[in-house]
């Protein structure tokens, strides 16, 4: 028994406990037998005021000791009690632990249920008796914001932030500002709402546009980044609290994607739009005197294609169809119609005479008598067609800004597909990145319609406001601590921190505004210099040490709280989950905190089998912390094999929060092996 300080136990007498062989009164008496403890037996169905009166008699004005709440389904059925404890009795959340007694009722044998329930509350008490309350601190932050890029979402974010009183640096490599409308021809002067965005940023006192800029340096952490910009008027060094990235897409002609020869009658989409905008050129290219002019538009036949490209092709098609002598073919691979109104637009064009041919491969282009000829297999007519076209128009390539790779390197962002800036992880959606305080909107994260990008600008502005507020941000105090006596400045933590939260002076220094408490640094530190508050090595070792050897088979599962722990909670609510009597779940803040030491130590304490359960690859909130756990398991297995212990007694599995069955399968798999 290693409960190292007084604990207040609250046991709720839920109706189903007594029929299940776990009499709450007897159980409370047994709990009261632990050293250093007091016990309150509480009816969770009581109204809040009566519960408060009982809790007041037990805890007086304020909770002083850590509290263990043992109940059936405490998060929902004990919600009233939990709320009272945290709000009325000001219990620090770190000093409260809940035990779901359902885990004890899992056993088919009623006699062992009390034993199991006692073990559950004891383990909870062991861990929480070593807990330290987590404080909070006010961190001064810079209110200045860097908005990088000149897309309309960037302009909107910059303008809105400046309106809200945040000084903004709007920096872009382009000069002058050249925002694009991805799904429409680039106009000479933008239409009204967009022109207003451009106008708004020109003469705002808090907004400083910097064109032809290059980002040379980026240091520091959330709330206090230091940026170094190279501008035409000289270098600029500034502190910024947050960054919004929205560099404009690049729309490239890229005729090579379609393998097209150079020819005056083979045009890019932009070129066609220019032709259509100028009556003189249009008359030259699309002779109104001839009987028929054939135009072939090609979309979605080579490489990535997006709805904006189709919309532009359709806009051009409808203008062409308005000319009496135009016959327009749309040769399309996948027709990307997944934007509002696009399917309808396509149908309208078809009704107006557009010939739609869905092809499975690129048409062959040959030049005969000054006209491009297209040869392709028409799947509807089931024959090869040869089309003598007066104009062949190909869609353009939509690409992420070419400077993104360098930007990602400087800002230490996780790599993303196709040169975009948001790591491919759903937890970042919609606008977050792996680093707090750096947001990506619109063209920085995908090819999208202007409207979606502008909505994301709103979301990013909201995020910046809640982060920087009036210039002080609140952060937890003492979540991750560096023992400066042990740190040897090897920079392992600095390199591995998925959130970019670590800086260094003479020792590593963890900035709590950016830290998410995942614990990768603590587990990887070769000198054990970092501890995560309330998931310290001391706590986990005590937990493993006090596992009851009477409960067999002895299985321990280390669970990431984001996925496996939730799946475990859900599994307890399934009927017939039937977890083995000796199964113990240990909640970890993230798979990144599952130390090698814990895995080996479990075996030295006689545990029969150990499970490491993490989020699925690419779904970890801390980038690759789940991979770190997997690598550690592999290492530990090698060590176990060397020591003559069957390495398959240690099992790694990834699962999702809403797949409790996967958890049960993993337990069953290990159990079957043993």
Partner 1 sequence: MAFFNEKPVVVLGGGIAGITAALELAHLGLPVALVEKSPFFGGRAAHFACKATDTCQKCGACLVEQRLRDLIQESGVTLYPHTELIQAQRPDGLFHLTFRRQPQRIDPHRCINCGICYDECPAISQQAILTGSSPAQHPRYAINPAGCLYFRDGSCRICQELCFPKAIDLDRPETTFTLEAPALVLATGYQPADPRSRPHYGYGFLPRVITGWELEQRLRDGAALEIPGNGRPARSIAFIQCVGSRDQDHPYCSRVCCAYGLRLARLIRHRLPECRLATFYMDLQNIGLDAQRFQEEALAEVKLIRVLPGDVATAADGTIKLRYLDEVSGQALSTAFDLVVLAVGIAPGPENPRLAELLHLDLTPEGFIRSHDDLHRTATGQPGLFLAGTVEGPRSIAECIAQATAAVQQVRNYLEAAS
Which residue in the set 23, 52, 451, 537 belongs to the binding site for partner 1 (CB under 8 A)? 451
* The one segment of 13-21, 110-118, 132-140, 198-206 that binds partner 1 by CB under 8 A: 13-21
Compute the least distance from the CB of residue 573 to partner 1, in Å: 5
The dihedral sign for the CA sequence 162, 420, 443, 433? negative
Torsion, Cα of 527, 528, 531, 535 (10° steps): 160
Compute the least distance from the CB of residue 661 to partner 1, in Å: 3
Q: Which is nearer to partner 1, 110 or 341 (CB)?
A: 341
Nearest to 39 by CA among 3, 15, 75, 73: 3
Side-chain-facing half-sphere of 238: CA atoms under 13 Å: 23
Residues 594-623 contacting partner 1, CB under 8 A: 615-619
Which residue in the set 15, 29, 32, 352 belongs to the binding site for partner 1 (CB under 8 A)? 15
* The one segment of 14-22, 55-63, 256-264, 405-413 that binds partner 1 by CB under 8 A: 14-22
Which residue in the set 166, 398, 420, 565 belongs to the binding site for partner 1 (CB under 8 A)? 420
Compute the least distance from the CB of residue 229 to partner 1, in Å: 28
Q: Which is nearer to partner 1, 436 or 543 (CB)?
A: 436
Applying CB under 8 A, what is the total number of residues that bind partner 1?
81
Compute the least distance from the CB of residue 15 to partner 1, in Å: 5
Nearest to 156 by CA among 215, 127, 199: 199
Q: Which two tokens stand for residue 360?
A: 């499975």
Cis before 430 (ω within 30) = yes
Compute the least distance from the CB of residue 359 to partner 1, in Å: 10
Q: Which is nearer to partner 1, 488 or 668 (CB)?
A: 668
* The one segment of 142-150, 338-346, 587-595, 601-609 that binds partner 1 by CB under 8 A: 338-346
CA distances from 516 to 7, 15, 222, 257, 505 (A): 28, 39, 12, 43, 21
Please tell me whether residue 661 binds partner 1 under the rule CB under 8 A: yes
Please tell me whether residue 297 binds partner 1 under the rule CB under 8 A: no
Tell me the three state secondary structure of residue 176: coil
Which residue in the set 23, 452, 537, 597 belongs to the binding site for partner 1 (CB under 8 A)? 452
Q: Which DSSP symbol is given to 419? A: G
Please tell me whether residue 336 binds partner 1 under the rule CB under 8 A: yes
Any residues with CB less than 8 A from the CB of 205 and at least 6 apart, and which? none
Residue 121: count of CB within 10 angstroms of its CB: 25
Q: Which is nearer to partner 1, 249 or 521 (CB)?
A: 249
Please tell me whether residue 668 binds partner 1 under the rule CB under 8 A: no
Torsion, Cα of 509, 514, 520, 526 (10° steps): -10
Any residues with CB less than 8 A from the CB of 136 and at least 6 apart, and which? 474, 475, 476, 477
- As a three-state string, the secondary structure of 358-369 is ECCCCCEEEEEC
CA distances from 626 to 123, 429, 492, 557 (A): 25, 19, 17, 15
Please tell me whether residue 277 binds partner 1 under the rule CB under 8 A: no
Residues 365-384 contacting partner 1, CB under 8 A: 379, 382
d(CA 550, CA 535): 26
Could you tell me where the DSSP H helices lie in 548-624? 564-573, 596-604
Compute the least distance from the CB of residue 562 to partner 1, in Å: 8
Residues 18-77 contacting partner 1, CB under 8 A: 44-46, 72-73, 75-77
Q: H or E stretch including 464?
A: helix 450-468
Q: Which is nearer to partner 1, 30 or 359 (CB)?
A: 359
Which residue in the set 341, 353, 415, 471 belongs to the binding site for partner 1 (CB under 8 A)? 341
Beta bridge partners of 398: 251
Q: Which is nearer to partner 1, 35 or 193 (CB)?
A: 193
Q: Which DSSP symbol is given to 396? A: P
Residues 85-104 contacting partner 1, CB under 8 A: 87
Which residue in the set 344, 486, 495, 545 belongs to the binding site for partner 1 (CB under 8 A)? 344
Residues 532-591 contacting partner 1, CB under 8 A: 562-563, 566, 569-570, 573, 575
Nearest to 404 by CA among 433, 437, 430: 433
CA 630, distance to chain mean position in Å, is: 20
Q: Which is nearer to partner 1, 459 or 645 (CB)?
A: 459
Q: Which is nearer to partner 1, 44 or 519 (CB)?
A: 44
Residues 160-219 contacting partner 1, CB under 8 A: 160, 193-194
């Amino acid at each position: 028994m290693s409960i190292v300080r007084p604990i207040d136990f609250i046991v709720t007498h839920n109706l189903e406990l007594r029929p299940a062989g776990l009499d709450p009164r007897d159980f409370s008496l047994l709990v009261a037998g632990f050293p250093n403890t007091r016990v309150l037996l509480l009816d969770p169905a009581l109204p809040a005021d009566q519960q408060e009166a009982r809790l007041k008699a037990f805890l007086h004005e304020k909770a002083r000791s850590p509290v263990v709440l043992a109940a059936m389904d405490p998060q929902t059925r004990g919600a009233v009690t939990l709320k009272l404890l945290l709000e009325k009795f000001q219990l620090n959340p770190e000093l409260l632990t809940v035990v779901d007694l359902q885990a004890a009722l899992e056993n088919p044998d009623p006699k062992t249920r009390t034993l199991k329930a006692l073990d559950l509350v004891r383990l909870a008490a062991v861990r929480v008796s070593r807990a330290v309350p987590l404080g909070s601190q006010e961190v001064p932050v810079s209110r200045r914001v860097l908005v990088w890029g000149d897309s309309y979402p960037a302009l909107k974010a910059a303008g809105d932030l400046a309106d809200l009183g945040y000084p903004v640096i709007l920096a872009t490599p382009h000069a002058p500002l050249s925002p694009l409308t991805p799904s429409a021809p680039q106009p000479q002067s933008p239409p009204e709402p967009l022109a207003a965005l451009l106008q708004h940023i020109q003469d705002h006192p808090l907004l400083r546009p910097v064109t032809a800029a290059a980002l040379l340096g980026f240091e520091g952490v959330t709330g206090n980044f230091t940026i170094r910009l190279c501008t035409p008027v000289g270098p600029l060094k500034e502190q910024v609290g947050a960054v919004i990235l929205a560099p404009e897409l690049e729309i490239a002609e890229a005729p090579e994607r379609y393998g097209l020869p150079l020819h005056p009658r083979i045009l890019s989409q932009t070129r066609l739009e220019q032709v259509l905008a100028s009556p003189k050129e249009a008359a030259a290219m699309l002779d109104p005197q001839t009987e028929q002019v054939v135009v072939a538009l090609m979309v979605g036949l080579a490489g990535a294609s997006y709805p904006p490209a189709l919309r532009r092709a359709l806009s051009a098609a409808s203008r062409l169809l308005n000319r009496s002598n135009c016959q327009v073919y749309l040769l399309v691979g996948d027709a990307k119609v997944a934007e509002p109104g696009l399917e309808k637009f396509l149908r309208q064009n078809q009704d107006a005479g557009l010939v739609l041919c869905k092809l499975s491969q690129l048409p062959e282009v040959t030049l005969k008598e000054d006209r491009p000829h297209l040869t392709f297999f028409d799947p509807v007519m089931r024959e090869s067609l040869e089309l003598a076209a007066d104009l062949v128009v190909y869609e353009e390539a939509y690409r992420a800004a070419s400077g993104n790779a360098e930007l990602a390197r400087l800002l230490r962002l996780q790599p993303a597909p196709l040169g975009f800036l948001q790591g491919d992880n759903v937890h970042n959606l919609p606008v977050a990145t792996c680093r707090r305080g750096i947001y990506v909107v619109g063209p920085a994260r995908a090819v999208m319609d202007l409207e979606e990008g502008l909505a994301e600008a709103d979301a990013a502005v909201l995020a910046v406001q809640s982060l920087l507020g009036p210039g002080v941000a609140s952060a937890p105090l003492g979540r991750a601590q560096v023992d400066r006596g042990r740190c040897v400045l090897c920079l392992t933590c600095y390199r591995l921190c998925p959130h970019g939260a670590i800086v260094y002076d003479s020792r590593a220094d963890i900035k709590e505004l950016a830290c998410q408490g995942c614990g990768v640094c603590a587990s990887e530190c070769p000198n054990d210099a970092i501890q995560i508050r309330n998931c310290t090595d001391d706590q986990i070792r005590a937990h493993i040490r006090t596992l009851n050897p009477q409960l067999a088979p002895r299985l321990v599962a280390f669970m990431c709280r984001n996925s496996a722990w939730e799946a475990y909670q859900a599994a307890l609510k399934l009927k017939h989950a039937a977890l083995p009597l000796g199964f113990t779940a240990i909640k970890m803040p993230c798979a990144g905190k599952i130390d090698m030491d814990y895995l080996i130590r479990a075996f030295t304490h006689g545990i029969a089998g150990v499970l490491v359960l993490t989020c699925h690859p690419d779904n970890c909130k801390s980038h690759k912390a789940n991979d770190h756990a997997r690598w550690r398991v592999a290492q530990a297995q090698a060590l176990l094999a060397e020591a003559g212990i069957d390495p398959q007694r240690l099992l790694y599995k990834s699962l999702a929060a809403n797949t409790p069955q996967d958890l049960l399968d993993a337990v069953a798999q290990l159990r079957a092996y043993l």
